[in-house]
Amino acid sequence: MRPQLGLGVNLTPQLLQSIRLLQLTAPQLEMELRQALERNPLLEQDEPEVEAEEIEADARVESAAWDELPEPSFLSGGNTGGDYDDAASRIAEGASSDPRQRLLQSLSLQWNARDVAIAAWWLDQCDDRGYLESPLDELHLLGASTCNLDASELEIVRQRLLHGECTGVAAQDAGECLRAQLSMQPESSARTLGLRILRDHLDLLAVHDEAALAKSLKCDAADVRDAVALVMTLRAHPMEDTTPDDAGVIVPDVVAWHADGGWRVALNGRSAPRVRIAAHCERALADAPGDVSALRGLLDEARWLVRGVAMRNDTLLRTTQVLVERQRAYLERGDEAIAPLTLREVADAIGMHESTVSRITSGKFLQTPRGTIELKRLFAVRLEGAEVSGSAVKAMVKRLIDAEPAHAPLADDTIAGLLARQGVRVARRTVAKYRDQLSIAPARQRCRAVAFAKAS
């Protein structure tokens, strides 16, 4: 045998533990630390410092990550001024079991405080299923008198609720709820026909009389069957099955917020307990007589864990800080502003290997004013031959199609030309690829869909 020289890494138990800790998500780390506290008597839970608590509190308020919204005083006549943010200081802790409060929590990440308060008023007028409990005209009058707001302003917020993330909430009846849900589906002939059924023939749909529907709509029975099948995929009630599943709850690992003209980040200290070595146990062990090798083993284990968690948290914080700084335009303006960013660029910025950045960002979530997003989403591939990311171009394509004239849908080459005017040069096939990824039909099919809707 011939001797060979080579370089390798000795994967010690400490190094293996550090690598494993890097990959743990917030819930996994919490479970790991709680098990360690039960298993190792030399570990104890560390009480958070006042300064750390203040940082986390500021982060929660600035990012509008609210668990409960207080009763808006300006809606009850207590404040008609313009300061709607003071109520944030009275937010209660703990997750709500009320789906309406959970919806408000989510809206507070995207809407301004005034609109969230108006949305809270509308949700107070809804029953447990999410339907309005009184006729719409009466509610407009009630809102105008009690909230000192125009009926038009109230209705704008109701429409945003109706077509928002909990689509159909604040609907007047089942028909309006289903129409709102269907309007959010990708454009198709089945959707167009389904909207006609919901608008004009809800009674026939209720008894599943497809033959009568085909006759009334003067269309093919197969088309009616497709439209009815699409309608049947919708929720019967806006707030149906909205109880949160603890197993699917996303716990943010890091919080980002905007303050003093810049972006700040902090670890979500509430997601896992802080642990430390019990000082009195360490002192007692140092002076203990006899064989205490077993306890010294526990002490070494405790030291490795505390050091590993500190390294993990430091790496996560530094990585997130770079991601937020590089993608501040995305956080401020949205998908079209997301910049090209690679693992290597972030790794170089923090002085670590790409594999470390990959591990620390996998499965980790960042809480921002735009919502809670996965850290991996902040990486974006540069579009070949362009100075923008593919994700940004996809968002631009969607915006152009959303704003296109209904009677003249934009062809792919037209979209490419419009992007070129904005300084983004992409090929027609690139536009077609992103349009397909967005599940948007070609211009010819979109044109036919519009013509069919007019004819019907």
pLDDT in tens, 226-249: 888 888 778 777 875 444 444 456
pLDDT of res. 74: 34
In a domain, residue 368? The reply is: yes
CA distances, 376 to each of 224, 359, 400 (Å): 43, 10, 26
In a domain, residue 437? The reply is: yes
User: Sign of torsion, CA 259 260 263 269?
Assistant: negative
* Residue range of the domain that includes 157: 60-75+96-231
Question: Out of 9-13, 35-39, 85-89, which region has the weakest mean confidence (pLDDT)?
Answer: 85-89
pLDDT over 60 at 58, yes or no? no
pLDDT over 50 at 91, yes or no? no
pLDDT of res. 363: 84
Max avg pLDDT among 305-314, 330-339, 429-438: 305-314
The pLDDT of 161-179, averaged and rounded, is: 87
pLDDT of res. 426: 80
Asked if residue 127 and residue 179 are part of one domain, the reply reads yes
Tens-place pLDDT, residues 131-168: 888 889 889 888 888 778 888 889 999 999 998 888 88
Q: Where residue 399 sits, what CATH number does that domain have?
A: 1.10.10.60
Query: For a pLDDT cut of 70, what percent of the chain falls above it?
Result: 77
pLDDT of res. 159: 92
Asked if residue 347 and residue 253 are part of one domain, the reply reads yes
In a domain, residue 151? The reply is: yes
In a domain, residue 65? The reply is: yes
The pLDDT of 57-83, averaged and rounded, is: 34
The pLDDT of 52-61, averaged and rounded, is: 41
pLDDT confidence bin for 7, thresholds 50/70/90: very low
pLDDT over 90 at 400, yes or no? no
pLDDT confidence bin for 92, thresholds 50/70/90: very low
Q: Six-digit token pair at 439?
A: 């599940």
d(Cα 139, Cα 115) in Å, to the nearest integer? 17
pLDDT over 60 at 331, yes or no? yes
Question: Out of 43-47, 66-70, 162-166, 411-415, which region has the weakest mean confidence (pLDDT)?
Answer: 66-70
d(Cα 40, Cα 297) in Å, to the nearest integer? 10
Asked if residue 421 and residue 357 are part of one domain, the reply reads no
Mean pLDDT over all residues of the chain? 75
Question: What SS3 class is residue 275?
Answer: strand
Asked if residue 101 and residue 218 are part of one domain, the reply reads yes
Asked if residue 176 and residue 313 are part of one domain, the reply reads no
Asked if residue 421 and residue 344 are part of one domain, the reply reads no
pLDDT confidence bin for 123, thresholds 50/70/90: confident
d(Cα 62, Cα 164) in Å, to the nearest integer? 23
By the 8 A CB rule, do 36 and 43 touch? yes
Asked if residue 402 and residue 325 are part of one domain, the reply reads no
The pLDDT of 91-115, averaged and rounded, is: 67
In a domain, residue 276? The reply is: no
By the 8 A CB rule, do 371 and 108 touch? no
pLDDT confidence bin for 322, thresholds 50/70/90: very high
pLDDT over 90 at 31, yes or no? no
Asked if residue 417 and residue 351 are part of one domain, the reply reads no
pLDDT over 80 at 39, yes or no? yes
pLDDT of res. 34: 87
Residue 277 DSSP code = E
Asked if residue 215 and residue 149 are part of one domain, the reply reads yes
Asked if residue 220 and residue 101 are part of one domain, the reply reads yes
Domain endpoint, select from 335, 350, 378:
378
Domain endpoint, select from 352, 378, 404:
378
Domain count, the chain: 3
In a domain, residue 31? The reply is: no
The backbone torsions φ and ψ at residue 377, rounded to the nearest 5 degrees and listed phi first, read -65, -20
Which of 240, 242, 214, 245 has its CA nearest to residue 227? Answer: 214
More confident residue, 92 or 396: 396
Asked if residue 205 and residue 128 are part of one domain, the reply reads yes
pLDDT over 70 at 376, yes or no? yes
Asked if residue 192 and residue 319 are part of one domain, the reply reads no
Domain endpoint, select from 378, 411, 430:
378
In a domain, residue 43? The reply is: no
pLDDT over 80 at 454, yes or no? no
pLDDT of res. 291: 63
CA 56 distance to own-chain centroid: 20
- Within 184-278, residue ranges assigned H as helices are 189-200, 202-206, 210-217, 221-231
pLDDT confidence bin for 316, thresholds 50/70/90: very high
pLDDT of res. 53: 45
Question: Out of 103-117, 278-292, 303-317, which region has the weakest mean confidence (pLDDT)?
Answer: 278-292
In a domain, residue 299? The reply is: no
Strands 262-267 and 254-259: antiparallel
d(Cα 58, Cα 110) in Å, to the nearest integer? 18
pLDDT confidence bin for 323, thresholds 50/70/90: very high
More confident residue, 58 or 440: 440
